[in-house]
């Protein structure tokens, strides 16, 4: 029986869903963040449960060939990444294995073909949005990321390697403004202080936006902040204030005030122009989002005259590309602001063969059937997956193809299992590395009505551009 603080020798034999090392000690599973398969290591037990335990690496006695030197001085204290100790190729392999394990073990999709994870040529500086908590004092502010499994702020004076250089420059400008003007950082425990979060956004054009979330309605030395921000980021388009006086983990408040510049950024995705406001959802990795979108459109295989439904459509980032090939596409989204953004995006891009419905998917699908059954249904639900009622409604509509876009392999597999009971089979899945150096993986899965998965089906569907495997 293991005991807390006990030092033990372990051999790692696999990686878990969070890219943690999976070891065994006298028959008991021990999860060790930072350990890699094949490594022998000394570890200290930090937590013991009835059937498993957690341990911390003290010393790697025999390192894996897949081990790498982390390029970030904050790693692993910062909770933003959990794979910088691995070679990038190893992270791609681990993510594919996670998707495969979930689909076969949870989803029962034994015949599914899971492709190699679609990686990036340069897996750094890919985030076009960053949100950085603030703590410390006005004389010595801490602006960075929360430590793993806590709300302690790890200061990142050099910026973050996943963010753009513009983002780092804006963080530095805010840091100087705080020190110069004695701006008190927020204290979460006392619900006191002013500056809670620094958020940055950057468009493909290089235009950027700085948003401050504050525990109040105004800030001191506003003109000094704007001057510093404009000097730090020549492409700066906006400086925005978001009052948030609630005791909450939500970053932005219910409204935003424009301090300087334009109220939104002009962004592009898959050739479509979109307006991004401070509170708009937009994929943080533009390059991989375009790749994922192309895969989803390829899997949908729409032909002129066919009808499609885009469920959980957000602001229409998938709806508009789908409409290029389809006769008509209907998007459903429960968030009213997102529906308005989707309609505006369609108007500004001249896309007329789409319409958008506001409401819960499980409630609106039945009404859509009055206009005719869809040939293809695309599902892009939140991390918790789709509700069973929504899946049953989709199956009742009897589309020939279902394309499921997922950010959680476990809930994807659960929903695939539900759809399989209604006559659909998962035949192909393409993992996409949307968030390099984290455990997260996006997956596009293709389900066909009444067809068992097979390697032949996989081979018959060529990869987009023939370049979708990892670097």
- Whether 407 is a known active-site residue: answer yes
Q: How far apart are CA 146 and CA 133, in angstroms?
A: 7
Of the candidates 145, 315, 407, 458, the residue annotated as catalytic is 407
Q: Tell me the DSSP string of 132-169.
A: EEEEE-SSSEEEEEEBTTS-PEEE-TT--TTB-HHHHH
What burial letters (b/e) apply to 125-141, b meaning 16+ CB within 10 Å?
A: bbbbbbebbbbbebeeb
Q: Kindly state the DSSP code that residue 110 receives in the 8-state scheme.
A: T
Strand-pairing partners, residue 274, are 267
The answer for 261, left when phi > 0, alpha when psi is -120 to 50, beta otherwise, is left
The CA–CA distances, whole Å, from 203 to 208, 285, 336 equal 6, 11, 24
Q: How far apart are CA 212 and CA 210, in angstroms?
A: 7
Residue 341: phi and psi, rounded to 5, are -60, -40
Identify whether the C-beta of residue 443 lies closer than 8 Å to the C-beta of residue 429: yes
Strand-pairing partners, residue 313, are none
Closest CA to 381 of 356, 395, 361: 361
Identify whether the C-beta of residue 232 lies closer than 8 Å to the C-beta of residue 224: no
- The residue whose two tokens read 């404009």 is 230
Q: How far apart are CA 205 and CA 463, in angstroms?
A: 29
Strand-pairing partners, residue 402, are 377, 447
Closest CA to 369 of 357, 379, 380, 381: 357
Which sequence positions are flagged as catalytic? 407
């Amino acid at each position: 029986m293991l005991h807390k603080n006990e030092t033990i020798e372990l051999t790692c034999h696999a990686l878990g869903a969070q890219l943690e090392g999976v070891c065994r000690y006298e028959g008991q599973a021990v999860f060790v963040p930072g350990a890699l398969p094949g490594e022998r290591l000394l570890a200290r037990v930090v937590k013991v449960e009835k059937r498993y335990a957690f341990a911390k690496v003290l010393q790697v006695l025999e390192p894996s060939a897949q081990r790498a030197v982390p390029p970030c001085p904050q790693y692993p204290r910062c909770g933003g990444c959990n794979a910088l100790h691995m070679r990038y190729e190893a992270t791609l392999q681990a993510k594919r294995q996670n998707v495969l394990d979930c689909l076969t073990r949870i989803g029962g999709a034994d015949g599914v073909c899971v492709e190699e994870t679609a990686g990036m040529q340069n897996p750094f500086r890919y985030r076009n949005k960053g949100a950085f908590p603030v703590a410390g004092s006005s004389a010595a502010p801490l602006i960075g990321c929360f430590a793993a499994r806590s709300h302690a702020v790890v200061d990142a004076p050099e910026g973050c390697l996943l963010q753009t250089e513009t983002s780092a420059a804006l963080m530095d400008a805010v840091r100087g403004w705080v020190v110069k003007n004695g701006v008190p950082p927020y204290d979460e425990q006392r619900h006191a202080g002013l500056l809670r979060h620094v958020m940055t956004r950057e468009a493909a054009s290089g235009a950027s936006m700085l948003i401050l979330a504050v525990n109040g309605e105004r800030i001191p030395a506003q003109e000094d902040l704007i001057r510093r921000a404009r000097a730090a980021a020549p492409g700066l388009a906006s400086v925005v204030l978001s009052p948030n006086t609630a005791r909450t983990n939500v970053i932005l408040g219910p409204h935003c005030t424009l301090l300087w510049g334009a109220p939104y950024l002009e962004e592009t995705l898959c050739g479509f122009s979109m307006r991004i406001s401070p509170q708009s959802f937009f994929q943080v990795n533009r390059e991989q989002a375009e790749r994922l979108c192309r895969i989803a459109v390829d899997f949908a295989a729409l032909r002129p005259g066919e009808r499609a439904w885009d469920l959980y459509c957000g602001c229409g980032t998938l709806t508009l590309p789908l409409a290029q090939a389809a006769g008509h596409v209907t998007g459903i989204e429960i968030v009213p602001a997102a529906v308005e953004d989707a309609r505006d995006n369609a108007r500004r891009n001249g896309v007329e063969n789409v319409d958008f419905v506001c409401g819960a998917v499980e409630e609106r699908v039945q009404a859509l059937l009055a206009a005719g059954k869809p040939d293809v249904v695309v599902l892009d639900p939140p991390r918790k997956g789709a509700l069973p009622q929504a899946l049953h409604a989709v199956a009742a509509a009897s589309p020939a193809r279902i394309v499921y876009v997922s950010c959680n392999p476990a809930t994807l597999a659960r929903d695939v299992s539900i759809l399989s009971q209604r006559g659909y089979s998962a035949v192909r899945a393409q993992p996409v590395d949307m968030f390099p150096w984290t455990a997260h993986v996006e997956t596009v899965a293709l389900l066909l009505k009444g067809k068992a998965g097979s390697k032949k089906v996989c081979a018959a569907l060529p990869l987009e551009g023939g370049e979708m495997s990892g670097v």
